[in-house]
């Protein structure tokens, strides 16, 4: 046994016939960041499991997922772009949140081969807030966006017990549809369709991709931000979006986009029973 094998074994990175297998379903797949971090979590938790990339085109996803049910040492997968929507219909069971958000970003294979799906984007966002000492319960929240990320954030904030939610979105119909889906699960929550003016809210969240590219318009009326507001991003890159830069100059508390992913990895590991 060479020195590097000994070291790898000491690190727990030795893959054997007993190792449980996890995947990350994506197309393309080369850029995905989760594998080394999930493998590190498995190692830290003393689990003999490894996650590897599964590169599959959208047309081939159903056949591959069917076959993965048959792999007895396959325990589940992270699901990412462009497969999150399609995966909703490929699971035997999905969470209420995944159903209403219309996306699955993680699947677990049960012993009988059935697949259970969930979406953890929103819970990662809330866990990131909590780790920064920000408790959503009781807060009045202004959320821009009504797409996948904004929907996931809205459901998780509702679950976390916010007092009220204002939705601002370019398409008012889409925001109304999100309000309707929220009402199915959280009928007591006050949700209004509002403007881009965040006045009167405690927590202001950008749930769109605006800020990712140079020249993007601001996602909301940043001139109406006031000191004491918490301003949060789902955009991870750049870390300091134009919105956050303006919010910082206003004396707002800033919450960056990256903690949503960081905290989601632990939640994913929990869901996968690592």
Question: Rule CB under 8 A: is residue 53 a binding residue for its own copies?
Answer: yes
Looking at 18, 72, 84, 273, which residue is catalytic?
A: 84
29 binding its own copies? (CB under 8 A): yes
- Measured distance CA(233)–CA(259) in Å, rounded: 10
Shortest approach of its own copies to residue 21 CB, angstroms?
5
12 binds its own copies per the rule CB under 8 A: yes
Q: Which of 19, 199, 209, 253 binds its own copies (CB under 8 A)?
A: 19
45, 52, 89, 249: which one binds its own copies (CB under 8 A): 52
Nearer to its own copies, 51 or 146 (CB): 51
| Coil/strand/helix, residue 66 | helix
Size of the site for its own copies (CB under 8 A): 49
SS (H, E, C) 206-249: ECCCCCCCCCCCCCCCHHHCCCCCEEEECCCCCCCCHHHHHHHH
Tell me, yes or no, if 84 is annotated catalytic.
yes
Does 71 bind its own copies (CB under 8 A)? Our answer is yes
108, two tokens: 């677990």
> Does residue 24 belong to the site contacting its own copies (CB under 8 A)?
yes
Instruction: Give the nearest distance from C-beta 123 to its own copies in angstroms.
Output: 23
Q: If we measure between CA atoms, which residue out of 185, 186, 134 comes closest to residue 164?
A: 186
Partner residues linked to 115 by β-bridges: 109
Q: CB under 8 A: which stretch of 52-60, 92-100, 171-179, 194-202 binds its own copies? A: 52-60
Task: Give ∠ CA 79-80-85 in degrees, rounded to 5.
Answer: 80
Contacts of 26 (CB under 8 A, 6+ apart): 32, 53, 54, 55, 79, 80, 81, 83
Our CB check for its own copies shows the closer of 49 and 175 to be: 49
Instruction: Answer yes or no whether residue 26 interacts with its own copies by CB under 8 A.
Output: yes
Interior/surface letters 185-200, b for 16+ CB within 10 angstroms, e for the rest: ebeebebeebeeebee
User: For its own copies, which stretch binds (CB under 8 A), given 35-43, 82-90, 139-147, 225-233?
Assistant: 35-43
Q: Determine the interface stretch with its own copies among 58-66, 124-132, 134-142, 252-260 (rule: CB under 8 A).
A: 58-66
CA distance 104 to 102: 7
Q: Does 11 interact with its own copies (rule: CB under 8 A)?
A: yes
**Residue 85, interface with its own copies (CB under 8 A)?**
no
106 part of the interface to its own copies, by CB under 8 A: no
Work out which of 47, 50, 106, 120 binds its own copies, going by CB under 8 A: 50
Piece of the chain touching its own copies by CB under 8 A; list 26-34, 223-231, 245-253, 254-262: 26-34
Which is nearer to its own copies, 34 or 260 (by Cβ)? 34
Which strand ranges, in their side-by-side order, compose the sheet holding 190-193? Answer: 190-193, 164-168, 140-144, 203-206, 230-233, 253-255
Overall residue count recorded for the chain in this entry: 274
Q: Which residues pair with 141 in a beta bridge?
A: 165, 203
Catalytic sites, residue numbers: 84
């Amino acid at each position: 046994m060479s020195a590097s094998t000994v070291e790898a074994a000491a690190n727990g990175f030795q893959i054997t016939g007993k190792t449980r297998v996890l995947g990350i379903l994506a197309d393309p797949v080369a850029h995905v960041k989760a594998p080394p971090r999930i493998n590190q979590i498995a190692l830290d938790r003393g689990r003999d499991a490894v996650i590897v990339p599964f590169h599959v085109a959208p047309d081939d996803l159903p056949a591959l997922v069917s076959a993965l049910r048959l792999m007895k040492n396959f325990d589940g997968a992270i699901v990412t772009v462009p497969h999150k929507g399609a995966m909703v219909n490929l699971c035997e069971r999905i969470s209420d949140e995944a159903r209403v958000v219309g996306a699955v970003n993680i699947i677990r294979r049960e012993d009988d081969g059935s697949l259970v799906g969930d979406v953890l984007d929103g819970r990662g966002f809330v866990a990131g807030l909590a780790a920064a000492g920000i408790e959503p319960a009781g807060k009045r929240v202004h959320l821009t966006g009504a797409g996948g990320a904004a929907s996931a954030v809205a459901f998780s904030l509702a679950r976390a017990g916010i007092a009220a939610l204002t939705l601002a979105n370019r398409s008012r119909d889409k925001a109304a549809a999100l309000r309707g889906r929220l009402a199915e699960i959280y009928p007591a929550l006050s949700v209004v369709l509002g403007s881009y003016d965040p006045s009167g809210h405690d927590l202001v969240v950008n749930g769109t991709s605006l800020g990712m590219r140079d020249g993007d318009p601001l996602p909301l009326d940043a001139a109406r931000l006031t000191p004491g507001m918490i301003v949060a991003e789902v955009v991870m890159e750049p870390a300091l979006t134009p919105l956050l830069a303006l919010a910082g100059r206003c004396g707002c508390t800033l919450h960056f986009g990256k903690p949503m992913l960081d905290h989601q990895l632990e939640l994913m590991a929990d869901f996968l029973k690592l």
